[in-house]
Structure 1
Amino acid sequence: MAVFLGEEFYSNLSRKLDAYASARALGGSRAAASRVWRFLNWAGQNCSSTDVARKLAGEGRFGEALSLLLAGTKAGGVLGRQAAEEFQTFATWLGYSGHVKEAEAWMGRLPDQSLSGAGAWFVDFWYRRSILDSAHNFRLRQLLGQQPDEATESKILWLLYMTGEVQGDLDQLYSAAARRGNMTAARDWLSILAARDPDKFFSIATDNKKWFAKKGTSLAIDMLLCDGDTPLANMIGERPRQLARHFRQSSADIWSRIGDSSLSVAVVGNSPCEIGKAKGEEIDAHDVVIRFNHATVGAQHQSDYGRKTDVLVTNAFMLRNFVEDLDIPVIVTSKDWEVFTKEKKTAFALAEKGVPLATVPRELRTKINHALKATASSGLQTLAAVCDVRGGNENVGIYGFSLVDQIGPKPTSANYFRNTRPAANHNWRGEALMLDAIRRNGNIDTALEAAGEMRYDNQWKTLERFTPTRFRIEGDHTQYHCGSAAVARSLRHFLAPHGVIVEDKKYDVLVVNGEGTMHHGSKGFHRKMKILGRALDAGKEAYLINTVWQDNPHDYDDVLRGLTGIIVREAMSQRELLEKHGIKARLHPDMAYYAPLEAPTDVVDYKGSIVITDFFSKEFDTFVRLTRAEAIKYPFVDMMTVGWDDLIASLKTAEMLITGRHHAVFAACRAEIPFVAFGGNTHKIEGIFHSAGVDIPICESRAKLPEMIEWARNNRQEYQKLFDWLKSYKGWKL
């Protein structure tokens, strides 16, 4: 029949049926919509069911969205796979918000209960959210018997370790995984043994020296081997040895000072509960002031929270933020930093600067974690440790702690100094019981049993009112050229696992894509900063991302300080924000480079020739095309008409690219060909080279173009350094 009616007829018909099904689903007729989509799936046509499910979720119709996806999982084929993937993503959102039991119940309805389906989801969910419930251990051991992949197997073993699995049984499970060649499990086992059973560690490690990680050993192993006469001492280098000795000594010093009962100690959390109470002077009057994640307090908050900081507490992943300017003791919190040591390079740098490092004693945090069936927050770990080492709460001031302001019908920010999404991976109600016990008598023991019962009672919205995180994007410049379109594609791709994108004002998080707008106080700069300011005034979480920053006024410094995060594309912008505005920003190369590529449809074979784009003209304050003889001989690429996928595929057939376009440089990098770059209206191209530490020069004039072409041909190694640097970033995230 297709021969007589034509493919276009069937294409138009499938689009109409899909639109009809979408309208029925949004109108509440999910069964009718599902029947249409199953037919389209059977016929090999595209369906919009997952898009509709996201729209329903964004409208707060989350149960309907899950039901729609669940129906789709039974369809098989492309629709079934897409629906199953989305269903698991939606269940994850539900669980991450605190609705753990509801998420697990929905996942239990998936038709595929194999490890590749629901089983793997449960393992990953419990692992990422540190749901440390020994009631799960029987099922975890069952899943081990299904021969999971190495990553899933390592997560299962970690969960068993963190929930207090009997050491002998744990040794058998780790040993079996290691003998099968799971090197992650093998190295984790050595670290656990180093912390728990040194004699067995030496026995196992002596026979399996190949298990020592090429990327470095854990702090637990370093501390065991750091003395020169220890067996296997030659398995670690001098730098790990010095870090272990530094950690051991400074940890003892830090807790000795905090434990001195003759000194008063203030532990200052980040809850907004102290705003307006004018306790700043009272806090600063303590001999030792402990703060979390920020060593300095902004002037606008000093009257309430004080300004003095003697000890900083931060998690392992935030350590890197303090390498440059920190000179006070640091208590590092993590799920088990000695055994599963993260950010070790940062720890090296801090130790070599002489910054004292410590952790909360392992025995105490293990007791708390087992009681809570979750990893405890940095705040509760620190409060419990302070009272434990001092033998009670006498002369201990507790400020900025609520532990329930992240849950309930109207959760607030977890920080007094910026808007953030409430964190859902801790047992907040259980921690609140422990906090109450600490305030009463400085001892958590009376609250341990009751705290565990609260593990699954942490949601802050009823399921009927639940919505995933709703992102609103400002700065979608898709219509400008294909590089900007790639940025928009990348942004949506990397946000998709974390929530839904909405177009209206009912959003939770504002994401402003700065791109090349934020420079020299331009109109676009003022417009975007005002949008960010309005979001903060409305109590929203807001980010400025993927941006240049150059020669901007100080009109919006208060807005910059209130943002949840700032991500710049290169180091020159990062340095300017810090030096001129006192703002720390994270660096991540332009998102266009990381956009998922689709199959190209219109590839040009340049047959190894040089190709060229347009350039920024300072004279005309716009991009222009060179028309002189030295440039017109090269094939011209118009980034406003070509697609990103086609551009990269086409550039792979060229010898090199000549360009004045920032995004064209990234297209050349994705195609892995050399390029000659002219400067633009900002430092964004120069900033790329500076960030990567490569010696690729900017072409300063058209007269130097032949010289620069020859340089590019003879210095391929510098471009390869840039390509490798870009590939070292594994993807973008907020």
Structure 2
Amino acid sequence: MRAVILNDTSTRYHHGCARVMRLLAEGLERHGLSVTARSPARHDWAADEGFLDAMRAAQVIVVNGEGTLHHGRPAGARLLEVAGHPARGATPLALVNALWQDNPESWSAPLSRFDLIAARDSESARAMAGAAGRDARWLPDLSLSAPAHVAPLPRHGVIVGDSVKPGPRRVLGRAATRLDAATLVPTKTLNGGPWRFAPARAALAAAWYGGLGLPALEMPATEAAYLDRIARARLHLTGRFHAVCLSMLTETPFLALGSNASKIERLLADAGLGPSRLLPPEALAEPPGEAPFTEDEVQAIRRFREMAQDRAEALFADIAALARRNA
């Protein structure tokens, strides 16, 4: 059975997105589906004849919602257009791993034409169920749907991540200069030759974090290396949703700044952690050097990860069942 995927975010130089796409493809393949084509994020899939041909030949179309469907963004509207595209025909359509926030009423009609709707947080599921007039399930972000496979190592130092927004990025950069044993480790990465050299990385850090005198910048080249780096930290300061997910995955204490939607707030609420690990920017004027988890937090995170794995496996099985009906 053949599947195609829209909104492949693995091309975004982003370890969290790369992990989501890897686990999505592997999950589909475990249940008998062959992914025959992927349309990258922000790609004009409707003008890509090769992709449209693969869509016509597929038994199921999977749309990776991720962080695209919020605030009526044009990229989100283009994704939803697949529901009425002639190349779709009557092929079953699954929306997975989706955030849904503050979208226009006009998005309700195309959403209602999806055969399966799966949010990555409970609030998005409620909003999509209301918009589509049908059931919508939720499960934690797919980055949490498999173990980290990192060896237990001694923890030391603070790693400081980044944010999709320039303001929080600058706040994180300033916080890093005030910490002992801090290292800049953004979720996004560049693997080209020049970035292997310290002067180039220092220039990139100054541009990205908006300051000078910053600690060393590390850019792990792979998802596995990034997970290993998080797992060795005593504390992770970040403004990235997936950085929080992967901190949970490795049980690394974290403190986060808000992102470009309420994705981190929703993640913490669903995981049973509450709002205490989400900080206002002014709280990092004097950044802490540690913020250990309580035993209750550790147990909540472990339950959340177990839920993620169980519900993801059920999701992949249900997508395969849709495809079999169309085989």
- TM score, norm. by length of structure 1: 0.33
Partner of 1:685: 264
CA distance in 1, matches of 2:167, 2:96: 25
User: Paired residue for 2:36, among 488, 502, 520?
Assistant: 502
Letter in 2 for 1:494: G
In structure 2, the partner of 1:558 is: 109
Amino acid in structure 2 at the alignment position of 1:500: S
Q: Label 1:621 to 1:659 Cα distance change in 2 as closer, same or farther (>3 A).
A: closer
Which amino acid letter does the alignment assign opposite residue 19 of structure 2?
A: A
- 1:217-236 equivalence runs, <5 A: none
Task: Determine the structure 1 residue equivalent to 2:18.
Answer: 485
Equivalent residues in 2 for 1:161-180, closer than 5 Å: none
Report the Cα distance in structure 2 between the residues aligned to 1:488 and 1:730, rounded to whole angstroms.
15
- Offset from partner CA, 1:133-170 (integer Å, 9 cap, x none): xxxxxxxxxxxxxxxxxxxxxxxxxxxxxxxxxxxxxx
Rate the CA distance shift 1:539–1:632 in 2: closer, same or farther, 3 A. Answer: farther
Amino acid at match of 1:637: V
1:626 aligns with 2:172: yes
Match for residue 592 of structure 1?
143
Corresponding position of 2:237: 658
CA offset digits 1:235-262 (Å, max 9, x no partner): xxxxxxxxxxxxxxxxxxxxxxxxxxxx
Contact 2:82 2:88 in 1 (8 A): no
CA–CA distance in 2 between the matches of 1:582 and 1:494? 28
SS for the counterpart of 1:558 is helix
After the TM superposition, which residues 130-529 of structure 1 pair with which residues of structure 2 at under 5 Å, given as runs? 469-480=1-12, 481-497=14-30, 498-503=32-37, 504-505=54-55, 506-529=57-80
**Cα offset, 1:488, TM superposition:** 0.8
**C-alpha contact (below 8 Å) 1:686/1:698 kept by paired residues:** no
Q: Is the 1:536–1:562 Cα contact (8 Å) retained in structure 2?
A: no
The whole-number CA distance in structure 2 between the counterparts of 1:710 and 1:626 is 13
| Corresponding residue of 2:305 | 726
Q: Which has the higher contact order (CA 8 A, sep 6+)?
A: 2
Q: 1:650–1:535: structure 2 CA closer, same or farther, 3 Å change rule? A: farther
Spell out, residue by residue over 1:208-233, the C-alpha distance to the aligned partner (whole angstroms, 9 max, x if none). Answer: xxxxxxxxxxxxxxxxxxxxxxxxxx
Read off the aligned partner of 2:35 and give its amino acid letter: I
Secondary structure at the residue paired with 2:96?
strand
CA distance in 1, matches of 2:309, 2:155: 31
Letter matched to residue 550 of structure 1: Q
Q: In the alignment, what sits opposite 1:582?
A: 133
CA contact (8 A) 1:676 1:708 kept: no
Distance 2:262 2:309 in 1: 24
8 Å CA contact 1:489–1:595 kept in 2: the answer is no
| Aligned residue type for 2:77 | H
Are residue 704 (structure 1) and residue 283 (structure 2) matched? Answer: yes
Alpha-carbon distance, 1:650 to partner: 1.8
- Give the number of equivalent residue pairs: 261
Bigger radius of gyration among the two: 1
CA distance in 2, matches of 1:644, 1:526: 30
Displacement of 1:693 in angstroms is 2.7
TM value normalised by structure 2: 0.71
Root mean square deviation of aligned Cα: 2.9
Unmatched tracts of structure 1, length 5 or more: 1-468
> Matched residue of 2:258: which SS?
coil
| 1:640 partner SS | coil
Report the counterpart of residue 163 of structure 2 in structure 1.
615
1:673 equivalent among 245, 252, 255: 252
Structure 1 pair 706/594, CA: closer, same or farther in 2 (3 Å)?
farther
Aligned to 2:100: 549
